[in-house]
Amino acid sequence: MSNIFELFDKIGSKSPEPTGKITHLVVGLGNPGDKYAFTRHNAGFLSLDFITQKLGVKADKIKFKSLCGEATISGKRTLLMKPQTFMNLSGEAVREAADFYKIPPENILVICDDVNFDVGILRIRRKGSDGGQNGVKNIIMQLGSDEFPRIKVGVGKKPSPEYDMKDFVLSKFNDAEQKALFSTLENIYNSVTLILDNKIDDAMSHYSKGKK
């Protein structure tokens, strides 16, 4: 099948220009470069691409070691970020932006992959440990806090215990998995709008399959 993410071009609507002070960050995690574009580890990037298309904005300005865009989400002026540091150093970009805009951890929403769930299953958490996700681990280290919400996107489980985790997260989604992921992107967008509207409990109730 053709790349389903080409459908992004059909879902956008132009949003009003954001005004006022940036008070929130929405960060999609992944690795930069075409070779990683549709790998499991880039579920955060793919989610952010969908969100920017929905909002009719682009994350294409280089700031804070990231590709960035701005939008108003649930009345909050928000910086949308795709760190270009590679996954394990994602926290450097997040910390720079948070320091510049004086944004507290609770106003930083991170979207990342989760290898503990089937493709497309979401787990929304208010705060907590990194759960083995190295990008989240680095963000916690750089911020000195784990008090930030996150949307963890299921990207499937290793086919066997012996399978190398690095090889797995850097593998590409097959056609069926792309469909499963695309079908949940609307739920990710809706979750973002609820969380930025201070309704994370509603987001968890409606969209989170794992509330651990």
Q: Which residues participate in catalysis according to the annotation? A: 41
Measured between alpha carbons, how far is residue 184 from residues 29, 46, 103, 106, 179 in Å? 17, 11, 28, 24, 9
Measured between alpha carbons, how far is residue 121 from residues 11, 103, 117, 207, 208 in Å? 22, 29, 6, 9, 8
Contact between residue 188 and residue 111 where contact means Cβ atoms under 8 Å apart: yes
Using CA atoms, how far apart are residues 29 and 59, in angstroms rounded to an integer? 13
How is residue 9 annotated by DSSP? G
Residue with structure tokens 């951890």?
105
